[in-house]
């Protein structure tokens, strides 16, 4: 491997100046800068990460720790996250160190080890919970991190998130505007911050329409077809309290809901309206649902770039306000919602 010294020798400069040229310091003539970079390229020079880390504190390595959960294998979520992040960081000349924690493995010691080794610049946290131990630990250890989602109402950390509260408020609002008053929400696993945000948006919209919170119908669980299937069957088993509309936290859930409604002989949207949020991680085309599914659309794949950017910023010490990003979404109305039947 070519070292900085080799480049310096070739350029007829000192190691110092060569380093400065390569790092775009202002006190190097532009001509020299370009010349040195050319030489570096021709020598296939790559800075030694360990050496750089030792002196500058940055190694270009970031950590990603995921718990090995029940549905990790079946869910395409995992591969989506890992693949998206790894290529996004690669683009920034950074690398991901991955650890999959075993089911019985406590998570904090993993971070402790990774942090203690001093080889990593920061972490990406996914699936935050309301009272997130990992974030607490990393904050205390003063290790930069970015969260996919938000922890608490006024987060002191870098994050990328979508506006779950508004999204689910808008969905609910769309349904109340159509005249629905018994609207079910099939949400995710209790404890996740985004699940709480979605509930808030939903409840706020109900309140807006003077629907009492006691009329809220919320079910939660792993976002699978089974949830949609089972929840729907249960909801309709009590004839007196059937919802007229169902909001699904994911397309996968919606798939189950469609199946259940078909089984129950209920037609969409005439008898039941269905609306879902689509993060594009289920490999399902919502326009191919029959009837075509109305969705709010916020592709999760669009989050890797901002996540990487925010972590990069956090490591470089950028001001927090630049590191808190809310992604955009859009609403696609198709044919799965209609006014409730009398």
Partner DNA sequence: CTGTTAGCGCTTTCAT
Partner DNA sequence: ATGAAAGCGCTAACAG
Summarize as ranges the residues that interact with a copy of itself (CB under 8 A).
1, 44, 46-51, 53-54, 59-61, 68, 72-74, 76, 78-80, 82-83, 86-87, 90, 95-102, 105, 110, 113-114, 116-119, 283
Return d(Cα 152, Cα 47) in angstroms, integer.
Answer: 39
Q: Dig out the tokens for 188 from the structure.
A: 């995710």
SS3 label, residue 63: strand
Return d(Cα 162, Cα 327) in angstroms, integer.
Answer: 5
Residues 304/312, Cβ–Cβ less than 8 Å = no
Rounded least distance, CB 51 to DNA, Å = 3
Partner from DNA, a copy of itself, none contacting 288, C-beta within 5 to 8 A by type: none
SS3 label, residue 294: strand
Return d(Cα 212, Cα 210) in angstroms, integer.
Answer: 6
Partner from a copy of itself, DNA, none contacting 101, C-beta within 5 to 8 A by type: a copy of itself
Q: Give the one residue of 29, 102, 283, 328 binding DNA; rule: CB under 7 A.
A: 29
- From 285, 278, 322, select the one nearest 300 (Cα to Cα): 278
Residue 57, Cβ neighbours under 10 Å: how many?
10
Q: Give the one residue of 9, 10, 24, 27 binding DNA; rule: CB under 7 A.
A: 27
Cα within 13 Å of Cα(263), Cβ side: 14
Partner from DNA, a copy of itself, none contacting 56, C-beta within 5 to 8 A by type: DNA
Rounded least distance, CB 326 to a copy of itself, Å = 26
* Nearer to DNA among residue 17 and residue 259 (C-beta): 17
* C-alpha torsion 18→19→21→25, nearest 10: -140
Rounded least distance, CB 297 to a copy of itself, Å = 20
The DSSP bridge pattern shows strands 122-125 and 61-67 to be parallel
Rounded least distance, CB 28 to DNA, Å = 5
The residue behind tokens 């119908």 is 217
Rounded least distance, CB 121 to DNA, Å = 14
Residues 89/96, Cβ–Cβ less than 8 Å = yes
Residues 121/144, Cβ–Cβ less than 8 Å = yes
Rounded least distance, CB 52 to DNA, Å = 4
Within 40-59, which residues bind DNA (CB under 7 A)?
45, 47-48, 51-52, 54-56
SS3 label, residue 325: strand
Assess 14 for contact with DNA (CB under 7 A): yes
Site string for DNA, 209-238 (x = CB under 7 A): ------------------------------
Task: Return all residues near 104 (Cβ < 8 A) that are at least 6 apart.
Answer: none
Assess 17 for contact with DNA (CB under 7 A): yes
Return d(Cα 133, Cα 289) in angstroms, integer.
Answer: 40
| Residue 131, φ and ψ in degrees, nearest 5 | -120, 75
* Nearer to DNA among residue 45 and residue 137 (C-beta): 45
- From 203, 194, 221, 44, select the one nearest 132 (Cα to Cα): 194
Partner from DNA, a copy of itself, none contacting 96, C-beta within 5 to 8 A by type: a copy of itself
Assess 23 for contact with DNA (CB under 7 A): yes
Assess 20 for contact with DNA (CB under 7 A): yes
* Nearer to a copy of itself among residue 176 and residue 250 (C-beta): 250
* Nearer to DNA among residue 29 and residue 153 (C-beta): 29
Rounded least distance, CB 144 to DNA, Å = 16
**Residues near DNA (CB under 7 A):** 3-5, 12-17, 19-20, 22-23, 26-30, 32, 45, 47-48, 51-52, 54-56
């Amino acid at each position: 491997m070519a070292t900085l010294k080799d480049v310096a020798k070739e350029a007829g400069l000192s190691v110092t100046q060569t380093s400065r040229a390569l790092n775009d310091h202002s006190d190097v003539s532009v001509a020299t800068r370009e010349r040195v970079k050319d030489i570096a390229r021709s020598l296939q020079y790559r800075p030694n990460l360990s050496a750089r880390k030792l002196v500058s504190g940055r190694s270009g390595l970031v950590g990603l720790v995921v718990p090995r959960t029940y549905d990790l294998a079946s869910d395409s979520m995992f591969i989506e996250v890992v693949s998206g992040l790894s290529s996004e960081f690669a683009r920034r000349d950074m690398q991901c160190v991955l650890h999959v924690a075993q089911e019985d493995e406590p998570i904090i010691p993993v971070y402790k080890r990774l942090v203690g080794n001093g080889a990593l610049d920061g972490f990406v946290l996914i699936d935050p919970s309301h009272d997130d131990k990992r974030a607490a630990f990393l904050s205390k250890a003063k290790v930069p991190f970015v969260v996919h989602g938000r922890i608490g109402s006024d987060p002191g950390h870098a994050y990328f998130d979508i506006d779950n509260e508004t999204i689910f408020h808008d969905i609910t609002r769309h349904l109340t505007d159509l005249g629905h008053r018994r609207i079910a929400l099939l949400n995710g696993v209790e404890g996740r911050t985004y699940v709480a945000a979605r509930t808030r948006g939903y409840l706020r919209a109900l309140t807006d329409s003077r629907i009492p919170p006691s009329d809220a119908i919320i079910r939660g669980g792993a976002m699978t077809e089974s949830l949609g299937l089972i929840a729907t069957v249960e909801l309709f088993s009590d004839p007196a309290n059937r919802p007229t509309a169902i909001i699904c936290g994911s397309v996968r859930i919606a798939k189950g809901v469609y199946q259940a409604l078909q089984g129950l002989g209920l037609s969409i949207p005439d008898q039941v309206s269905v609306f879902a949020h689509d993060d594009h991680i289920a490999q399902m085309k919502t326009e191919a649902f029959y009837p075509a599914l109305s969705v709010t659309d916020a592709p999760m794949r669009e989050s890797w770039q901002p996540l990487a950017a925010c972590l990069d910023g956090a490591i470089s010490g950028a001001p927090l306000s630049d590191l808190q990003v809310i992604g955009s979404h859009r609403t696609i109305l198709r044919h799965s919602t209609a006014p409730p039947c009398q």
